[in-house]
Chain A
Amino acid sequence: MSLTLFFVLLGLTVASFWVGRQHAVSLRNGGARLHSLPSYHGTYVALVCGLPAALLLLAWISAEGWMIRQFVIAGLPDEFKQLPDGELALLMTDVRNMAYGAVPLDTSRPHIVSAVEHYNRLRGLSKVLSWLVILAVAIAGFVLARRMIAPEFRARNAVERILNVVLIISSSLAVLTTIGIVLSLVFEALRFFARVPVTEFLFGLTWSPQTAIRAEQVGASGAFGAVPLIVGTLVISVIAMLVAVPVGLMAAVYMSEFMPGRIRAVVKPILEILAGIPTVVYGFFAALTVAPLVQSIGMSLGLNVASQSALAAGVVMGIMIIPFVSSLSDDVINAVPQSLREGSYGLGATQAETIRLVLLPAALPGIVASVILAFSRALGETMIVVMAAGLAANLTINPLESVTTVTVHIAMLLVGDQEFDSAKTLSAFALGLLLFVVTLGLNIIAQRVVKKYREQYE
């Protein structure tokens, strides 16, 4: 029903654009000198007609369910109004499902039948009201704006002011979302820290988040020491960087300094595709190819290698982030002014000396920024680790053993049915906050470095 209304509104907006524009054109043809172009007049009419109505529609849709629910609850017999929150919510879900016909009407419960009727009446009313109010707003806006059209009316300035407001709203939406996510992380994490001390979380050496549901349960110790997860994350990320940084950097040097331009134009996008492969696919590769390979090589060397090892996950993750390092580094090496290359060659430097002594130092801040970006990507990676490094929270820095990471455990904690009042579930938010703080720190460092880089040649 809202969809039809939306399209009607859209049609009205388009029509009002044409009406406004045509009116301005006819004024101009009548010999008047318009302040603004006719299309600005049209846009102005369309905006005043469509924008408030559309916002109202949006508000209506989001508030409708809640309003109806409140009215229906108010109309329930008194003994149901006293129900605890959870049971009331269940009851209302039943009512709602029956009202929408998703569930057959349960005639055995008279209060429900009357509530469903009440619900449907209110829905009908809401529908009629929404059409009336929203179309009234749209038409009122259209009439008002249409009246404004005159040769001296500054439609362009008015349109620009409205668009300015729209831009401000759009940009604050992104910022507000980020703030919202951070706040929800912080508050849930605080709830977790009310049950588990911060010190235990940050410095505890055991991670075993099962808490007992019944007192007599065994093996439900509930230890929340995040150190094994942090160490596991670092081990895997460091292995990944050991793979990605040298390979990526050398690839970048080759691409920017040695590869002929035509080949580079083909190879670089192909390399960037590596970054677009879903990480699950890398996960297959890690679990089915690299992990067994690592194991069999380790065995032949007489080492004891777990079938899921940090090494396998780290190596594959390293391959995944090569394009982050190589593509960005290639860009910054390319951005080093040609004049510096010529200056170096002009002094009799070889290509190798020029790369080593001039290009890499000049590009270093950019390269560092790309490495930090790749590192924060590695920290946040989940899927490859789940598939290739296992789930066991071992506290070890031996890359041949199975370890696990922060992100893997966040995923594990929230998979399946969960209640959001146990320490186990809440610990996911604490882990998320920890990871967020670390990546935020890395990003700030990266931005600092990039800023310094921008001042380099001037």
Chain B
Amino acid sequence: METPFSSAQPGTAPPPAVPLPNEPPSIVARNVNVWYGDKHAIKNVSIDIYRRQVTAFIGPSGCGKSTFLRVLNRMNDIIEGCRVTGKITLDGDDIYDPRLDVVQLRARVGMVFQKPNPFPKSIYDNVAYGPRIHGLTRSKKELDEIVEKSLRRAALWDEVKDRLDEPGTALSGGQQQRLCIARAIAVSPDVILMDEPCSALDPIATAKIEELMDELRQDYTIIIVTHSMQQAARVSQRTAFFHLGDLVEVGSTEQIFTRPQDRRTQDYITGRFG
């Protein structure tokens, strides 16, 4: 994996259509390109992502929205033949700086995956996994507190508090996904990336996760990739529309869904393709 920065020029974010929050963005991406071998998966994407908001990435399959999400915590590092250029900063730190430790980056940028993927361990050990590997606690009591706090934050505590030593894989799909969210929260990240977190869940479990996202945005920067435009409209404050590797349009969710500037966005949200 190489990350040449020579080609990066100071790009500009697309002009905001509605007023933005008054604080500087949490994540700033400029002229990001991603190649898988010869395939140009992300083309010159520049975007700002703000704190205490849910930002939704929407677009048809294969448009690069998941790829771009994974670039943000360098999960693409483990894919052979993947190459990233451009500049991405998290609170001012260049995340592709060779001096930056990817382990620490991922502790700051947590991730929840499409399919719930609890480890085949107990519920407790699943949540305690992150704090343990990062050495966040000094005593068992502190660890217990983090586990309880994270499970409460993920709205799972009441359902599992009496069976913390049961395997996480024994929970239902929706509970597993909330367990994975609790697992991500336990390392106190700044950003939580969610890659279609509800696509394997039923409507009731989906509603719970969406409610949870709305709560979590008080404390975290949340980015969600979703196939469901209704979901993007329900949970997000800002929406970015990707198409064939291009970031077509980004703006407030309300503006994207009611007054899209680009013809392709209009076609997509009205269901003409995708």
Contact = CB atoms under 8 A, between A and B. Distances in A.
Given A347-B130, A349-B133, A357-B129, A342 B117 contact: yes
A354 B110 CA distance: 16
B117 A337 contact: yes
Given A345-B106, A347-B187, A348-B103, A353 B117 contact: no
Interface in B112-143: 113, 115, 117-121, 129-130, 133-134
A456 B133 contact: no
Contacts of B73: 346
Contacts of A347: 106-107, 110, 129-130, 133, 183-184, 187
Given A350-B103, A353-B133, A457-B169, A345 B119 contact: no
Contacts of B169: 456-458
Contacts of B29: none
Contact of B113 (A346, A350, A361): A346
Contacts of A374: none
A3 B118 CA distance: 64
B78 interface: yes
A261 B80 CA distance: 10
Interface in A344-386: 344-350, 353, 357-358, 361-362
B130 A343 contact: no
A341 interface: yes
Contacts of A340: 117, 119-120
A339 interface: yes
Interface residues of B, number: 27
Contacts of B121: 361
Interface in B129-171: 129-130, 133-134, 169
A353 to B, nearest CB: 5
B102 to A, nearest CB: 8
B107 A342 contact: no
Contacts of A261: 80
A458 B183 CA distance: 20
Contacts of B28: none
A239 to B, nearest CB: 33
Nearest to A337: B117
B107 A348 contact: yes
Interface residues of A, number: 23
Nearest to A336: B120
B198 interface: no
A340 B106 CA distance: 15
B78 A339 contact: no
Given A339-B115, A353-B133, A357-B129, A346 B75 contact: yes
Q: Which of B113, B119, B134, B169 has the most CB of A within 10 A?
A: B119
Contacts of B80: 260-261
A339 B106 contact: no
A341 B115 CA distance: 13
A348 B117 contact: no
Given A456-B169, A457-B169, A346 B120 contact: no
A456 B120 contact: yes
Contacts of A456: 120, 169
Contacts of B71: none
A341 B78 contact: yes
A349 B103 contact: yes
B209 to A, nearest CB: 17
B115 to A, nearest CB: 6
Given A337-B117, A358-B119, A361-B121, A346 B129 contact: no
Nearest to A261: B80
Contacts of B218: none
A357 B105 CA distance: 20
B111 A457 contact: no
Given A339-B113, A357-B133, A346 B119 contact: no
28 contacts: A339-B113, A339-B115, A340-B117, A340-B120, A341-B78, A342-B78, A342-B117, A343-B119, A343-B183, A344-B129, A345-B75, A346-B73, A346-B113, A347-B106, A347-B129, A347-B183, A347-B187, A348-B103, A348-B105, A348-B107, A348-B130, A348-B134, A349-B103, A349-B130, A350-B103, A361-B121, A362-B119, A362-B120
Interface of B: 73, 75, 78, 80, 103-107, 110-111, 113, 115, 117-121, 129-130, 133-134, 169, 180, 183-184, 187
Given A340-B120, A346-B106, A346-B184, 9 more contacts: A260-B80, A261-B80, A342-B78, A342-B111, A342-B117, A346-B111, A347-B130, A349-B133, A456-B169
* Pairs A-B, 6 closest by C-beta atoms: A346-B111, A348-B107, A348-B106, A339-B117, A343-B117, A347-B130
